[in-house]
Each structure stands twice: as C-alpha cells, then as structure tokens.
C-alpha cells in the first residue's frame, strides 16, 4: 500500500510538472525553442571565442535544461492568447531565463590592446665609443619614425654597470637629429646587460604586447645574462639584438690580473698582469693598494 501511494504521488508530481498537452504537439511547435537555443548558446560561444565577453563561471549554463520545461508548459497549457502573442510570451520567458543565466556567469567585457610596446636598450658603457652610441640613437629614432601603427609605443634605456630609463614607452620619442644627447646618469665603468634587460622588462605594460631591442657589443663584465634570458623567455618576452660595431686602432686592455686571495698585513705578494694592445707602443703600468702606488714600471 505504501509503495502504491508513493508511486501515485510521484505520478501526480510528474503530471503536475509536465501536464498533458491540451492540444496536439507537433515537431514544428518545437522550432521556437530550437531557434532560441541556437541563438542563445551560439551567441555566448561566439562572444567568448572572439574575446568580446569573458564568462567567469560556466556552471550556470546548466540552467538551460529548464528551457524545454518552459516550452512544454507553453505548448501544454492554454492562456487564451493569439498565436503571435503566445510566441512573444514564450520568447520573453526564455529571454528572462537566458538573462538570469548570463548574470550568474559574471560576464566581463574584454578589451584587447593590439598595440606594441618596444623598449630599446642602448649600451653606453666605456667600451662603446660616443659616435657609436649616437649612431645607435639615430637608428632607434629611425625605427620609431617608421613604426606602422600610431598606437605603438617606444621607450629608451641606457646602461653600463648601472641602467637608467631615459624615456618610458610613449608614441613619439622627443629627439631630433641635432639633439641625441643622453640625459640620464649611469656608471660607465662596466657592462651589466642582465640589469638593463630586467629594467626593460619591468617597463613593458602588462596590457599590451611588448618586446625588447638590445643594442650592444655583447661584452658583459657583470651580472648573469643567461639567467635573465631564461626568465624573460618564461614570461614570453621577445628580445631582438642589434650589434654595435666599432674599430679602435689604439686600444689597450687588461687581459688578466692574478693576485693571491689572502695576504697578511705587511706581507710581500706577487701580482701577474697580462696586457694586450692592437699595436706596439710604450706606456706606464700603475698598481695601487688602498690608493697608494705600489708599483709603476714602464711597459715597452
């Protein structure tokens, strides 16, 4: 008896939820529902696919299963409306449910900035001649003036042992052919490319595409270039390089300096110095210890 009563209650519930139609239901009567589902789900898919609207939650789309129930109550019931007004009422109910679903998904409008930000990183260390640095700035200006899009931005960094921002990314660089002077102050007695690239990466806006153009002779004296390159690669930051060429005929440089790591106060120690030059000549080698000249021979 209890089982029959439960079965009867369940049958009555299903009949109330899905009442028998009062008029014949044909396949054509389901066309309004199919049209709305195609427009609603297809429109949401296209908005997301073309990055026009981003839906934060997807589970509310499961409420679409209630749309067939709304349609069934429409075709099974009788409201005394004309056919056209009845169809309008159906679409109004489906639209309200669709709007409710969209509100639950927390939609967000997506605005994609297709502009490009390029940061030019120019080597201004002591190993780069002033004429070569001026030529590098002129090349940067030429590239900026030839950029294809007005919404592309360009920035400029000078570096040596330290790095400094000359100009943040902007549509136009305020330079001309008569004024290509570097305004920032940096340490010229070294070359730290990794520090300059790290600063350039920090300047790139997060809301647009960015890349770095490195203009240098590639000779670093400090920092870890391989480490910063791995970090920028992981972040998807592209780096282009432009080699600085120069030709010094009278250059002299220190190849190697060997000294003991630990020396007691007053102890005599040996120092090995290897010097190279492009051509033969004479000069004076000066070794200092705490500012005091300890050795100053003539070098043939």
Q: Is-above-0.75 flag for pTM?
A: no
The CATH architecture annotation of domain 115-243 reads 3-Layer(aba) Sandwich (3.40)
Percent of the chain exceeding pLDDT 90 equals: 9
* Spatial CA neighbour of 71 closest among 104, 28, 9: 28
Largest CA distance in the chain: 120
CA–CA–CA angle 123, 124, 127 (5° rounding): 90
Q: Which segments of the chain have a pLDDT < 70?
A: 1-6, 8-10, 12-18, 22-23, 77-81, 110-114, 149, 175-180, 245-249
Parse the chain into domains and list their residue ranges.
13-109, 115-243, 252-299
**Residue where the block lists tokens 């029959």:** 4
Take residue 212 and report the two structure tokens written for it: 């770095």
pLDDT of residue 149: 66
Q: pLDDT tens-digit profile of 65-97?
A: 888 888 888 877 666 667 778 888 888 889 999
Whether residue 237 contacts residue 210, with contact meaning beta carbons closer than 8 Å, is answered with yes
Q: What is the DSSP letter of 206?
A: T
Q: Residue 37 contacts by C-beta under 8 Å, 6 or more apart in sequence?
A: 64, 67
């Amino acid at each position: 008896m209890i089982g029959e009563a439960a079965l009867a209650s369940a049958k009555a519930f299903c009949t109330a939820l899905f009442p028998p139609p009062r008029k014949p239901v044909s396949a054509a009567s389901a066309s309004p529902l199919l049209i709305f589902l195609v427009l609603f789900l297809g429109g949401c898919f296209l908005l997301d696919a073309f990055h026009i609207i981003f839906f934060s939650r997807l589970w509310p789309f499961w409420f679409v299963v209630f749309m067939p129930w709304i349609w069934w109550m429409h075709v099974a019931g009788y409201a005394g409306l004309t056919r056209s007004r009845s169809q309008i009422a159906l679409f109004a109910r489906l639209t309200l449910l669709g709007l409710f679903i969209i509100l639950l998904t927390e939609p967000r409008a997506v605005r994609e900035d297709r502009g490009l930000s390029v940061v030019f990183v120019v080597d201004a260390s002591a190993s780069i001649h002033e004429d070569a640095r001026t030529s590098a700035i002129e090349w940067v200006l030429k590239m900026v003036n030839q950029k294809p899009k007005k919404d592309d931005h360009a920035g400029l960094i000078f570096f040596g042992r330290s790095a400094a921002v000359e100009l943040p990314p902007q549509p136009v660089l305020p330079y001309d052919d008569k004024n290509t002077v570097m305004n920032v102050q940096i340490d010229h007695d070294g070359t730290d490319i990794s520090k300059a690239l790290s600063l350039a990466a920090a300047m790139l806006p997060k809301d647009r595409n960015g890349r770095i153009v490195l203009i240098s002779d590639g000779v670093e004296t400090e920092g870890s270039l391989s480490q910063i390159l791995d970090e920028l690669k992981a972040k998807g930051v592209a780096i282009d390089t432009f080699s600085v060429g120069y030709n010094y005929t009278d250059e002299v440089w220190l190849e190697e300096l060997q000294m003991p790591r630990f020396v007691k106060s007053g102890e005599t120690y040996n120092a090995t110095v290897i010097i190279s030059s492009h051509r033969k000549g004479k000069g004076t080698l000066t070794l200092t210890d705490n500012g005091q000249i300890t050795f100053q021979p003539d070098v043939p």
